[in-house]
Amino acid sequence: WEAAGYLPFSRAKIGSFFQETPVLKNPFLEDALLRGYLRRHLPQEAAFSDLCAFGERVANEVDGWGRECEVTPPRLVHFDPWGRRVDHIVTSPAWKRMKDLSAQEGLVAIGYERSFGEWSRVYQMSKLYIFSPSSGLYTCPLAMTDGAAKVIQSIGVSWPVDEAYGRLTTRQPERFWTSGQWMTERQGGSDVASGTETVAVPQTDGSYKLHGFKWFTSATDADMTLTLARAQDRTGATTPGSRGLSLFYGEVSRDEGGRLKGIEVQRLKDKLGTRQMPTAELLLDGLPAHRLSEEGKGVASIANMLTITRIHNSISAAAAMRRVVQLARDYATRRTAFGKLLKDHPLHMQTLARMEVETRGAFLLVMEVCRLLGREESGMATQLDAHLLRLLTPVAKLYTGKQAVAVVSEGLESFGGQGYIEDTGLPGLLRDAQVLSIWEGTTNVLSLDVLRSVARSSGMVLHAYFTHAKSLLAGASNASSLAPAVKAVDGALSELEDFVQIAATRAPGYLELAARDLAYSLARIYTGALLIDHACWKGASSSDTYAALRWCEHDLCPVATKQARGCYDLSTAPLDAALVYDR
C-alpha cells in the first residue's frame, strides 16, 4: 500500500472523499410556483423568455458578482493622499456591475414602462425575486430608487425632479441614478416625528440648505436622496412633531475640489450583515435641497416610498427563503448520511417540505400585494383593491421578514456544519435576512401601522379583507381535496371577525397589545386563502393542493386563541414588565 502511494492521509493528501457542493441552477426554471403563478396571470412569451434568460445569467454570472460584493465590502476613504477631505465610499467593481445590470435589465424601469399593464409590477418583482439573493444586496438601492421614482410620480414629474425621474427609471446604464432614503436620525428611526432634528434653512431662491445628522443611510453611493427635515420659518423657528416635517430632494454631488457638497461622511457602519453595501452616518452641513411636499406633510409624502420599499423588502424575504430551499434540496441529492442520500430520509424531507410551504405562502402573499400595486398604478384598482393594498403592505412586510429568518436558519441547518462555514456563502443569507424585520419599520411598528390603516379607513380595510378572503374561498367549494383547508380558513375568518367586534368595545390599549398577533392572523389567514385559490386553478398541481393543506394546519388566527386566554387584558401589561425585569 505504502509503496504504491495509496495511504490516504499521508503528507499533502487529505483523504479521498470530497463533498459535492450544492449547485445553483436557473432560479426561474427551478421554481414551479413562480412559473405556475405567471402561467396563470401573465401568460406572455416575452415575459417568460426574459425571465428564463435572466435566470440563466443570475445562476452563471451574477451570483459570482454577488459573492464578490460580499468579500470586497465597501470602505470609506476620508482624505486624499495630500490631506484633503474627500469622503470617498469605495465600492467593489462587482457592485458597479450590478448598477449597470440593473439598468439594462430594467429592474426599476419595468415598473414605470408598464409594458404588461396591470401585471407590470408582478413581472418586475418576479425579476427582482430571481435576482435578489445573488444581487450582493443591490436590491436595496433598487428598492429606494423605485420608491423615489414613485414619490416623484405621485407629486408630479416636473422641475426640480424631472431630470432625476428620467434617470431613476432609465435602462441606460450611463444615465441611471440610484436614490437614498434618509429618514433615521440618532433619536429614533421608528418615531421619525420626534426623532428628526434636521433643519431646512430657506434660501433666497426658494431652495433650502439642510443641517442635521442622518444616523443610518444605506447604499450611500447614491446619486440623490429623499429625506425629511423641519423647514425654518422667517424667525428661524421650526415646528415639532410630525406636523413640522417636510420632504426634501437633494443631489449627492461634488465641488470642483472633489469634496461632497454639504455632506460629510462620518463613518461606515460595522454591520452584522448587508456588508456588501455601504451604510453611512452622514453630517448634513448645508446640503442643497428642494422641498417636494407641502410644509408639514413630509411623512405622508414619503409614505409612497415606504409602500414601495416595504414591498421590495417582502420580495427579498420570499426570495431568500426560495434560494435556501433550492440549495438545500439540491444538496439533499448529493449528501449521504447513514447509508443513504439525505433526500431519502423522510424526516429530512419533512423539514424541507415545511420550509417549502412557508416559502410558497410568502411568495403568494407578496405577489398579491404586487398585483394590487399594479392595478392601482394602471388605474384598474377598485376601492376594495386600494384598501387591500394599504392593509396588506405592512402585513406582508412584517410577516415575511420574520419568516425569512426562520426559514433561512432552518435552511442552514440542512447543510449540517457546512451551513455554518463562511465561504460557502450560506451564512451571509442568514445575516442578510435578519435585517428584513428591522429596517423599513420593525415588526411592532408595522403592526401598529396595520392599526393605523384600520383607524384611518374607519375599518374599511378590514371590510375589504374579509370580502376578498371569502371570495378566494368561494372557488374552492367543490374541491373536496381542499375541504380541510377551506374549513380551517373559513373558521379562522369567523374567529377574526369575532375578535374585531370584541376588540372594538375595549379600551385603546387592548388593540395595541393585540397588534402583532392581529397582523400575524391577517397574514396567515389571507395566505391560506391564496394558497387554496391557487390550488384551485386549472393548471395547479397536486403539490399546490398539498401546500395549501399543510399551511392551513397552522394556528391561523393566533389573535383569537390569545384573546380567549386574556392575553390582551390591560392587567397583563404590568405583569409583562414585572416578568421582564424580574431579578
Q: Which residues bind ligand UCC (CB under 6 A)?
A: 139-140, 143-144, 181, 183-184, 189-190, 192-193, 218, 242, 299-300, 303, 306, 309, 312-313, 316, 439-441, 445, 449, 452, 456
Closer to ligand FAD at the Cβ: 216 or 399? 216
- How far apart are CB 320 and ligand FAD at their closest, in Å? 15
**Residue 139 makes contact with ligand FAD by CB under 6 A:** no
The distance of closest approach from Cβ of residue 16 to ligand UCC in the complex, given in angstroms and rounded to an integer, is 42
CB-nearer residue toward ligand UCC: 312 or 375? 312
Work out what residue 313 binds among ligand FAD, ligand UCC, none; the CB cut-off runs from 5 to 8 Å by kind.
ligand UCC
What is the grid cell recorded at 136?
450582493
Minimum CB distance to ligand FAD smaller for 183 or for 318: 183
Alpha-carbon span 69 to 220, nearest angstrom: 15
Pairing of strands 208-218, 245-251: unpaired
Task: Classify strands 279-291 and 336-337 as parallel, antiparallel or unpaired.
Answer: unpaired
- Tell me the closest approach of the beta carbon of residue 280 to ligand FAD, in angstroms: 9
Nearer to ligand FAD, 172 or 194 (CB): 194
217 binds ligand FAD (CB under 6 A): yes
* CB 145 to ligand FAD: min, Å: 12
Q: Decide: 247 and 293 in contact? Cβ < 8 Å.
A: yes
Backbone angles phi, psi at 578, to 5 degrees: -65, -40
State yes or no: residue 276 binds ligand FAD (CB under 6 A): no
Nearest CB to ligand UCC, comparing residues 426 and 454: 454
User: For residues 309-368, which are near ligand FAD according to CB under 6 A?
Assistant: none
Query: H or E element: which one contains 200?
Result: strand 199-202
Q: Residue 452's binding partner, choosing from ligand UCC, ligand FAD, none, with beta-carbon cut-off 5 to 8 A by kind?
A: ligand UCC
Contact predicate 400/363, CB 8 Å: no
Look at residue 374 and give the partner it binds from ligand UCC, ligand FAD, none, a contact being a CB closer than 5 to 8 Å depending on partner kind: none
Contact partner at residue 271 from ligand UCC, ligand FAD, none, CB < 5 to 8 Å by partner kind: ligand FAD
Among residues 125, 183, 398, 548, which is the contact residue for ligand FAD, using CB under 6 A? Answer: 183
Residue 36, interface with ligand FAD (CB under 6 A)?
no
CB 343 within 8 Å of CB 288 = no
Nearer to ligand FAD, 110 or 302 (CB): 302
Tell me if 279 contacts ligand FAD by CB under 6 A. Answer: yes
Per partner kind, with CB cut-offs from 5 to 8 A, the member of ligand UCC, ligand FAD, none near residue 444 is: ligand FAD
User: Grid coordinates in use for 78?
Assistant: 476620508
Interacting residues of 361 by C-beta distance below 8 A, sequence separation 6+? 403, 527, 528, 530, 531, 547, 551
Q: How many CA atoms lie within 13 A of 73 on its CB side?
A: 15
Q: Is 274 in the site for ligand FAD (CB under 6 A)?
A: yes
Answer yes or no whether residue 439 interacts with ligand FAD by CB under 6 A: yes
Q: Which of 248, 227, 249, 246 is nearest to 238 (CA)?
A: 246
Structure letter (DSSP) for residue 61: I
Task: Indicate the residue among 303 and 349 with the shorter CB distance to ligand UCC.
Answer: 303
Identify the CA nearest to 467 among candidates 576, 382, 538, 562: 382
Measuring CA to CA, which residue among 526, 529, 522, 527 is closest to residue 473?
529
Residue 395 contact among ligand FAD, ligand UCC, none, beta carbon within 5 to 8 Å by kind: none
**Least gap, CB of 23 to ligand FAD (angstroms):** 30
Q: Which does 72 bind (CB under 5 to 8 A by kind): ligand FAD, ligand UCC, none?
A: none
Grid cell, residue 335, equals 449528501
Question: Between residues 332 and 362, which has the closer beta carbon with respect to ligand UCC?
Answer: 362
Beta-bridge mates of residue 284: 212, 263
Q: Answer for the pair 552, 484: CB distance below 8 angstroms, yes or no.
A: yes
Of 400, 415, 401, 398, nearest in space to 324 by CA: 415
Say how many residues touch ligand FAD, by CB under 6 A: 22
- Nearest-approach distance from CB 209 to ligand FAD, in angstroms: 20
Residues 441-500 that bind ligand FAD (CB under 6 A): 441-442, 444-445, 448
Q: What is the DSSP letter of 360?
A: H
Whole-number Å distance between alpha carbons of 540 and 549: 14
Minimal distance in Å, beta carbon 503 to ligand UCC?
A: 19
Whether residue 544 contacts residue 476, with contact meaning beta carbons closer than 8 Å, is answered with no
Q: Do 381 and 399 form a contact (C-beta atoms < 8 A)?
A: no
Give me the count of residues in the chain.
583
Q: Which is nearer to ligand UCC, 24 or 247 (CB)?
A: 247
What's the CA gap between 492 and 494, in Å, rounded? 5
User: Quick one: 55 or 189, whose CB is closer to ligand UCC?
Assistant: 189
Q: How far is the CB of 231 from ligand FAD (least distance, A)?
A: 19
As separate numbers, helices (DSSP H) first and strands (DSSP E) second, the chain gives 20, 11
75-79 and 263-268 as β-strands: parallel, antiparallel, unpaired? Answer: unpaired
138 scored as a contact of ligand FAD (CB under 6 A): no
Question: Closest-CB residue for ligand FAD?
Answer: 189
Burial class (CB in 10 A: 0-12, 13-18, 19+), 383: exposed
Judge contact between 87 and 265, C-beta under 8 A. Answer: yes
Cβ nearer to ligand FAD, comparing 309 with 359: 309
- Which option in ligand FAD, ligand UCC, none does residue 418 bind, with CB closer than 5 to 8 A by kind? none
Peptide bond between residue 240 and the one before it cis (omega within 30 degrees of 0): no
Tell me which residue of 453, 433, 306, 442 sits closest to 373, measured CA to CA: 306
Instruction: Tell me the window of 182-190, 304-312, 317-325, 392-400 that interacts with ligand FAD (CB under 6 A).
Output: 182-190
Task: Select the binding partner of residue 279 from ligand UCC, ligand FAD, none (C-beta < 5 to 8 A, by kind).
Answer: ligand FAD
Under the criterion CB under 6 A, does residue 181 sit at the interface with ligand FAD? yes
Does 271 bind ligand FAD (CB under 6 A)? Our answer is: yes
Let me know the angle formed at the C-alpha of 39 by 33 and 42, rounded to the nearest 5 degrees: 115
Among 188, 202, 296, 416, binds ligand FAD (CB under 6 A): 188
**8-state DSSP, 19:** P
Q: Is 438 in the site for ligand FAD (CB under 6 A)?
A: yes
The torsion of the CA quartet 22, 28, 29, 31, rounded to 10 degrees, works out to 80
Interaction site with ligand FAD (CB under 6 A)? 181-184, 188-191, 216-218, 271, 274, 279, 435, 438-439, 441-442, 444-445, 448
